[in-house]
Amino acid sequence: MQLTLYSDYSLRVLIYLALHGDEVSTITEISEAYGISRNHLVKVVHNLSQQGFIQTSRGKFGGMWLDKSPEKINVGDVVRHTEPNFDLVECFNMAENTCPIGGICSLQKLLSRASRQFMKELDQYTLADLVPNKKRLRAVLNPA
């Protein structure tokens, strides 16, 4: 299984904000810290705001910050809100499935169970669990 870049970037934004506590951060800062496109982050930040993970403000002193403490942001929830689907194989989408053995073989059942276990594992972690070494992470993302 591979998460989309959208989910990856969403988690990176949240990690960055968790490292900066109550400080207001900007899309430009985060883009430069990770070396990723500012344009991609605009969409990511908008979605994170819509989903209630972050707060944003516009203007000269605008930016973003976490809407709740890192301990209250569940990694599984973030992934569920950022992944378009979990169709690991064609037969997961019955409307578009053309596999002639769909529903007969055991692959769908096995992968479905694996996907549930994957999400169950992510559900055990919060954003706080992703940043136990704040000092080192900040040093890498914001070198002086």
Give the other-Cβ count within 10 Å of 38's Cβ.
Answer: 12
Q: Rounded mean pLDDT of 27-35?
A: 96
| Predicted local confidence at residue 72, as pLDDT | 97
Per-residue pLDDT tens over the stretch 102-130: 777 888 888 889 889 999 999 999 999 99
**DSSP for 73-124?**
-BHHHHHHHH-S----SGGG-TTT---TTTTTSSHHHHHHHHHHHHHHHHTT
Task: Map tokens 């990856």 to a residue.
Answer: 8
Average per-residue pLDDT in the chain?
A: 91
Name the more confident of 105 and 13: 13
Instruction: Give residue 40's domain range.
Output: 5-141
The domain total for the chain is: 1
144 falls in which pLDDT band (50, 70, 90)?
A: low
The CATH code of the domain that includes 71 is 1.10.10.10
Task: Output the pLDDT for position 104.
Answer: 78
pLDDT, tens digit, for every residue of 92-108?
777 777 778 777 788 88
pTM above 0.75, yes or no: yes
Q: What is the pLDDT of residues 67-77, one digit of tens each?
A: 999 999 999 99
